[in-house]
Structure 1
Amino acid sequence: MIVIFLGPPGAGKGTQAAHIVDRYGIPQLSTGDMLRAAVKAGTPVGQKAKAIMDAGNLVPDDVVAAIIEERIEQDDCAPGFLLDGFPRTVAQAEMLDQILVKKGRSVDVVIELQVDEAALLDRLRNRIKETLEKGGEVRADDNEETFAKRLGVYREQTAPLIPFYAGQGKLRPVDGMKAVEAVSADIDAILDPIQG
């Protein structure tokens, strides 16, 4: 079962990804984690990515795609996997489709967590407040300005994936404004039949 999550920053993708990993026993593949692992392992693709990152540049799509291709060949991905942070653009989605076709596989479902953007801002403010009340340290990227920027990038680059996957008949919208457990239950209702 190959699953992709879509949704703006703060929609709860991380929380729901952890639920899917626990319930279905498939790994969550985060592009950031995979890049760091490939760099650490010193694979040819990892060395290429390291040189790009060391220069302070964004790793280009073809290098990210090569790292994903390398990763999904590992045994733990045989039953499927959840992609987190990839694809972010239609070009990346097309690359992913090509990689999977070569392996005789395809994306099974794309879950779009639909949320109210104003409510996301409230969630962010609450998270900051709760973190401070507990005496914790607020993440550097947990501020309204950074959030607004990330939201803009999502709308511009990633939101076009919604019609792309809808056109393939793979998009399943889920109301991300419900309680965490209710969102998990809605996702289970989509994934259980696929898992068989």
Structure 2
Amino acid sequence: MWDSLIAEWQISRAEADYVDRQQGETCNSCGSNLRSIALGEAVRSFLGTREPLRTAVGTEAGRKLSILEINEAGTLTPVLRQFGGYVFGAYPEVDMHAIPYPSGTFDIVIHSDTLEHVPNPVHALSECRRVLKPGGALCFTVPIIVGRMTRDRAGLPKSYHGDPTTATDDLIVRTEFGADAWTYVMEAGFNRVTIHAVGYPARRASR
């Protein structure tokens, strides 16, 4: 995080450091950052396996698994693409307030560090829930400052993830998520939330 963004978010240097870890700290074996690893843990939890996700790709269940990925999830994306029912929807071309698929289409919906850019996070989460099959799972990450509550940036100066001189409006941060981020999932109609931490508090994925 750069100084101007730290000031806009009104966070401490220690908080900025653990946000930086999610992107900068990587696995020596696969090169994945903490964000991708945590998201992979959430997917593996849904599949009920401790084996690497690549192992599940060639199984009968893996060939039948239907996945919608909205926005790329870093190094996890090439693995997800190998599943038989994989569909990619680029954000913001895919509007998370009007996901262009019928209800009950997918076993898993995945998005990574995207929800904070969406104007109405609860509605976007409810759209993800709509396109899930019964018993399906939403797996996602958002940047979280764990020591405070979520803050809506409406009425505040525009804040971007990326260079403000070249960033487009889809990179505007609409919501700064805090310790109550899980409540947004419940408000969207889900009845269970699990949190998968890797290097807490640097990265957590929700399912």
Q: TM-score, normalised by structure 2?
A: 0.34
Structure ranking higher in strand proportion: 2
Structure ranking higher in helix proportion: 1
Q: TM-score, normalised by structure 1?
A: 0.35
